[in-house]
Amino acid sequence: MHIRPKSVNRLFITSALGEARVALDHLLANEEALAAIEYTATLMLRTFQIGGRIYTCGNGGSMCDAMHFAEELTGRFRRNRPGLAAQAISDVGHLSCVANDFGYDQVFSRYLQSHARAGDCLLAISTSGKSVNVVNAAISAKELGMTVVALTGRKDTQLQALADACIATPAGEFADRAQELHIKVIHILIELIERQSFPDNYPAISG
């Protein structure tokens, strides 16, 4: 029987999936990161309980993650329930105006200064943990009396130093593997919030 050799593209595919699996296994074994996820969910839940709002920001793929996080809260994740107050800082008019007048490093912080208040929460997403505009947003958030939670791809960063909780998902040399873990973390955070806020939407689990 003739066995067709694997193509080069197939090898790239299986290699990429293998790297992703290794990164996920490392996160599963990282007790510090798991504890940070749990604590972050508690902080976010507390924000909603006191009538606050969660703002979130990031650049590039991290902005897409920020938008996804917010729309899953204002819409729904799995089952119908009331909307939750969340806002990604992604308005093109605001971003282009502030970038033009003040510089791109101020686009997120200026939004918080205009809209946020004490008791709100910022989810700041940066794979490097040092994006200047995200770091500036965290600084402004702290000055406003907000809770700051960070989602990064590296430990011991500028962003972590400013955060009340930091979920670091180191996953290799490049940002893509960290971003793949970020979306998993985001979905887990949303589920934890929903499980506490709308327990009837979820069956009880053991263990």
Asked if the structure places residue 72 within a domain, the reply is yes
pLDDT at 104: 98
Q: How many domains does the chain have?
A: 1
Identify the pLDDT of residue 95: 98
Task: Give the residue with greater pLDDT, 145 vs 78.
Answer: 145
For residue 4, pLDDT beyond 90: no
Task: Give the C-alpha separation, 190 to 45, whole Å.
Answer: 10
The answer to whether residue 1 sits within a structural domain is: no
Q: Output phi, psi for 206, to 5 deg.
A: -110, 160
Specify if 45 maps to a domain.
yes
Q: What is the pLDDT of residue 37?
A: 98
Does some domain include residue 25?
Answer: no
Please give the pLDDT value at position 174.
Answer: 81
Work out the pLDDT band at 46, boundaries 50, 70, 90. very high
Query: For residue 113, what are the contacts with CB-CB under 8 A and spacing of at least 6?
Result: 140, 144
| The predicted structure's pLDDT at residue 3 | 54
Predicted local confidence at residue 171, as pLDDT? 76
- How confident is the model over 65-91, as a mean pLDDT? 97
Average pLDDT over residues 47-56: 98
Phi-psi region of 120 (alpha: psi -120 to 50; beta: other; left: phi over 0): beta
Identify which of 132, 115, 135 has the alpha carbon closest to the alpha carbon of residue 124: 135
* Residue-number span of the structural domain to which 154 is assigned: 30-198
Please identify which residue in the block is written with the tokens 């105006």: 97
121-155 residue pLDDT tens: 999 999 999 999 999 999 999 999 999 999 999 99
Domain contains 181: yes
Assess if residue 143 is contained within a domain.
Answer: yes
- Residue 81 inside a domain? The answer is yes
Q: What is the mean pLDDT of residues 4-21?
A: 87
Q: Supply the pLDDT for residue 66.
A: 98
What pTM was estimated for this model as a whole?
0.93
Question: CATH no. for residue 95?
Answer: 3.40.50.10490
pLDDT value at residue 207? 54
pLDDT score at 2: 55
User: Which pLDDT belongs to residue 116?
Assistant: 98
Mean pLDDT, the chain, whole residue set: 94
Asked, for residue 204, whether it belongs to a domain, the answer is: no
pLDDT tens-place string over residues 13-40? 999 999 999 999 999 999 999 999 999 9
Distance CA 151, CA 157 (A): 11
